[in-house]
Amino acid sequence: MVETAESLSQLICSKIGDRPFVVVSNREPYIHVYRDERVEWVRPASGLTVALDALMQVSHGIWVAHGAGPADWDVCDAKGFVGVPPDQPTYRLKRVALSRQQEQNYYYGFSNSALWPLCHVAFRNPVFSLEHWQAYQEVNELFAERVAEEIGNRPAFVFIQDYHFALLPRLLRERCPQAKIAQFWHIPWPNPEVFRICPWKEAVLEGMLGSDILGFHIRYHCQNFMDTVDLELEARPDRELTAIVLRGHTTKIRAFPISIDFEDISRRAASADTEREIAVLRRKYRLRENWMLGLGVDRLDYTKGIPERLRALDLFFERYPEFQGRVVFVQVAVPSRTHLEEYARLKEQVERLVENLNWKYSCGAWRPVVYIAEHVDLPQLVALYRAARFAVVSSLHDGMNLVAKEFIASQVDSQGVLLLSQFTGASRELPDALLMNPYSPDEVAERIREALQMEPAEARRRMERMRERVRENNIFKWAGSILKKLSKIA
């Protein structure tokens, strides 16, 4: 049975009943901003937010997140609460205020300069600073207080998102012993050799082991986590049950591959609006009808392998000049964490590579790369996904990668080809993609040629199989499986 928002709602009603349900994430599901002196709200477009929002709307729970929007505090009550969705509130968002200093050291510092590079094997040295670590502890404590204020000693369900809150499960368990806690780690877990350089590794692991369920995208990450605990802690990993017992408390380690709202994206892609949008985009970026489009969509992050992809594209045009004047690669890259030097450097590097490629190959009206360095709304994104003949996901390492799945959902004509890095979680589920090693420019260039020369029947066969897979394993299934597991904990 394909899970839907409705079946997820029914599941919640039956499993959660009237127990408090709390979701914790760094990023909030609704952000308040100023527009022309007025306060308005925006919703970050992410599949995760959509699924968890559906979950919250039926559970009438509380979502606790960092209040980072410029107008956030204008609309909250004294305890930081605001009813959401703002146009028709069904649950409450509890905003946690952080000082600039805390945000700097906890978010940009330990979360994104230490844990992010540590968990992604992308050959960037993690930065370990005591100041960052102290802020990380402080913010995790602050969130524990804010959640505990709401649930006290009642039996409740708490669902914690991501690497910003490694310490939170344990801190919460100490304060709320009756709560059932699940944590989902959205990024990879590295092997023990990599993780052991973290100066606060025991505290991080012990923190995570406060949860009842600890979820990763794929079994390989679960395995790495078990091996890491085995090496670093006096804990008992149970390989058979994939669980870890630490001081009498059991944490089940499970793989829950995240996904997207397939039906929504697929419906949008098949609509007449999308066809109109494709025509608008072709005009806007001067993309002729007879040019074949390649596509990359990423946050500008060094783990996504964007420079590697552009270098491979250079090699492709050099090696196969017959495609010059016929293929255009559209790279959509939304700036991310630009406050960090590493990311600012990457932005410059990508701009330089695009400029060089366009300088080297442009001819008449044709240029090899169209670079869109901004956030693109979902309707335009879906139009690009549908219009593309091939998409390239060349992450050096990626927990899952939702762009791959969004591309598949948008390929309603099943003509496109997905080139997918073998170092993404998604590659485990999608053997029908053209899998590749993004570190090898030769291999990526070959895959691009293969995609362009693939027989339409073969492309269709592959795409249809992938569409079936993503339709079935959608975001509602992901959320539902975690919830089912959590509700079974005694």
Q: What is the full DSSP assignment across 360-421?
A: HH-BTTB-SEEEE-S---HHHHHHHHHH-SEEEE--SSBSS-HHHHHHHHH-TT---EEEEE
| Choice from 75, 114, 168, 187 touching ligand ADQ (CB under 6 A) | 187
Going from the C-alpha of 322 to that of each of 312, 313, 385, 388, 466, the distances in angstroms are: 16, 14, 24, 19, 30
Distance CA 151, CA 145 (A): 10
Minimum CB distance to ligand ADQ, residue 419 (Å): 15
Q: Extract the tokens encoding 135.
A: 């802020």
Distance CA 154, CA 415 (A): 53
Of residues 277-306, those binding ligand ADQ (CB under 6 A): 297-299
Neighbours of 100 (CB within 10 A): 7
Minimum CB distance to ligand ADQ, residue 186 (Å): 4
Minimum CB distance to ligand ADQ, residue 458 (Å): 26
Distance CA 448, CA 185 (A): 32
Distance CA 96, CA 102 (A): 12
Query: What x/- string results for residues 202 through 241 when contact with ligand ADQ is judged by CB under 6 A?
Result: ----------------------------------------
Minimum CB distance to ligand ADQ, residue 373 (Å): 8
Q: Based on the shown chain and the rule CB under 6 A, indicate whether residue 258 belongs to the binding site for ligand ADQ.
A: yes
Q: Based on the shown chain and the rule CB under 6 A, indicate whether residue 429 belongs to the binding site for ligand ADQ.
A: no
Name, in order, each residue with C-beta under 8 angstroms of 326's C-beta and a sequence gap of 6 or more.
290, 291, 292
Minimum CB distance to ligand ADQ, residue 478 (Å): 9
Of residues 451-480, those binding ligand ADQ (CB under 6 A): none
Compare residues 25 and 57 and give the one whose CB is closer to ligand ADQ.
25
Compare residues 231 and 376 and give the one whose CB is closer to ligand ADQ.
376
- Nearest CA-CA partner of 198 in 163, 174, 246, 149: 163
| Choice from 7, 9, 46, 349 touching ligand ADQ (CB under 6 A) | 46
The DSSP symbol for 300 reads S
Query: What x/- string results for residues 124 through 163 when contact with ligand ADQ is judged by CB under 6 A?
Result: ----------------------------------------
Of residues 338-377, those binding ligand ADQ (CB under 6 A): 375-376
| Choice from 20, 257, 296, 399 touching ligand ADQ (CB under 6 A) | 399
What is the Cα 146 distance to its own chain's centre? 25
Q: Which residue stretch of 21-29, 131-139, 400-408, 469-477 sits at the interface with ligand ADQ (rule: CB under 6 A)?
A: 400-408
Q: Based on the shown chain and the rule CB under 6 A, indicate whether residue 186 belongs to the binding site for ligand ADQ.
A: yes
Quickly list H helices, 257-340.
262-270, 272-284, 306-319
The DSSP symbol for 111 reads I
Minimum CB distance to ligand ADQ, residue 234 (Å): 31
Q: Which residue stretch of 126-134, 141-149, 272-280, 397-405 sits at the interface with ligand ADQ (rule: CB under 6 A)?
A: 397-405
Cis preceding-peptide flag for 70 (omega within 30 of 0) = no
The conformational region for residue 468 under phi > 0 = left, psi -120 to 50 = alpha, else beta, is: alpha
Compare residues 20 and 399 and give the one whose CB is closer to ligand ADQ.
399
- 158 phi, psi to nearest 5 deg: -125, 130
- 242 phi, psi to nearest 5 deg: 40, 65
Compare residues 184 and 361 and give the one whose CB is closer to ligand ADQ.
184
Distance CA 327, CA 313 (A): 11
Compare residues 61 and 425 and give the one whose CB is closer to ligand ADQ.
425
Name, in order, each residue with C-beta under 8 angstroms of 283's C-beta and a sequence gap of 6 or more.
none
DSSP E strand boundaries for 398-454? 417-421, 434-436
Number of chain residues interacting with ligand ADQ (CB under 6 A): 21
- Nearest CA-CA partner of 485 in 163, 260, 252, 258: 252
| Choice from 5, 23, 48, 463 touching ligand ADQ (CB under 6 A) | 48
Quickly list H helices, 67-129.
100-102, 116-119
| Choice from 181, 310, 403, 452 touching ligand ADQ (CB under 6 A) | 403
Minimum CB distance to ligand ADQ, residue 464 (Å): 22
Compare residues 60 and 375 and give the one whose CB is closer to ligand ADQ.
375
Residue type, 413: D
Minimum CB distance to ligand ADQ, residue 37 (Å): 27
Point out which residues bind ligand ADQ (CB under 6 A): 46-48, 186-187, 258, 297-299, 332, 334, 375-376, 381, 398-403, 406
